[in-house]
Structure 1
């Protein structure tokens, strides 16, 4: 199955995981990004915080590409409503994993869709439960480097999956983009349509 969008499609994210997931639509798109200071963005709830960051990531790209559909997203891990962002160093990564060990946390992705001077927002929540992690496992995992550049200091699509006991919700949301929800939102906004294969007539 392939789809086409009503306007040129831009992904305002440098994440290779989001790029791979968006590719599932089969619609052509470009990647354009602008730097955002995420620490300067606030929200009154975890979902609002993630959505506000997603909006900031796409805003300046959308302003420079007003003839396009611009999609931006932000994914964060929360434990006890406290965000666990991307670790700055190995010790922070270890601390994140110790907090997640043997517990259930929430992964929230906010997605912003900019088009025709409009910003449509939605977010997805997924509950993830970790097995209890030994100090040896935590140290070895952090030493592998897989923990860096990932919210919560783990990647569910890599060897980090071995820490996961249970996922309740959209797996792709944890990877970084709830692609099923995004497709349905684009469909609702009439920004995407299915490409029907042409009928072949043989003589």
Structure 2
């Protein structure tokens, strides 16, 4: 597909798209990621994915844009990226020994159409000791990651099972993204 742009600076999203043979440019828009009052997580990730796509289209109107946003939900609460070591430990304590949901909004858009989907994956996290948390924090991996972990990295040892899309937990549900792209080619 000519003039394809990934609206993200995420190395993980870039790697996932390269894994399936896509060629694209990268343009990372600046979008306010604040949660609106009474906004559900599925509405939140969909809104942000669409906002990122639209922000890129204003700069590159002839492009087809792939945009995404990923967040976690525990007990109906949106769990974002840790703001500090203490915040990461609070997140991990809440997630420890429980299952949570990872939501990604993915949007493919061009000047003529916008198509979006929300994908959900259930992740089971083992009980984490304080020593586990200290060791994981020291890796530097949790910084900038929704929920404070990267399933494709060191944290894989703490996740005994998932139900749903693995690539969704990494940050971009590939199957659904490719389905949306295929709709643009028809």
Fold conserved (TM > 0.5)?
A: yes
The answer to whether structure 1 residue 62 and structure 2 residue 57 are counterparts is yes
Unaligned residue ranges in structure 1 (runs of 5+) = 192-203
After TM superposition, the structure 1 stretch with the greater mean CA deviation from structure 2, 148-157 or 107-116, is: 107-116
Deviations 1:113-168 (A, max 9, x none): 11133211111100000111111111211122111110000000000111101110
TM-score, reference length from structure 2: 0.95
Displacement of 1:40 after TM fit? 5.7
2:165 aligned residue? 170
Q: Is the radius of gyration larger for structure 1 or structure 2?
A: 1
Q: Where has structure 1 moved over 6 Å in runs of 4 or more?
A: none
The RMSD of aligned alpha carbons is: 1.4
TM-score, reference length from structure 1: 0.87
1:84 aligned residue? 79
Q: 1:159 aligns with which of 132, 150, 154?
A: 154
2:55 and 2:40 map into 1 onto residues whose CA distance is: 24
Whether the 8 Å CA contact 1:66–1:117 is kept in 2: the answer is no
2:140 aligned residue? 145
2:126 aligned residue? 131
2:37 and 2:107 map into 1 onto residues whose CA distance is: 16
Displacement of 1:24 after TM fit? 2.4
The answer to whether structure 1 residue 30 and structure 2 residue 25 are counterparts is yes
Distance 1:41 1:31, change over 3 A: farther
Distance 1:18 1:106, change over 3 A: same
SS in structure 1 at match of 2:67? strand
Displacement of 1:41 after TM fit? 5.0
Q: 1:109 aligns with which of 90, 104, 107?
A: 104
Distance 1:115 1:41, change over 3 A: farther
Unaligned residue ranges in structure 2 (runs of 5+) = none
The answer to whether structure 1 residue 122 and structure 2 residue 105 are counterparts is no
SS in structure 2 at match of 1:112? strand
2:179 aligned residue? 184
1:69 and 1:41 map into 2 onto residues whose CA distance is: 28
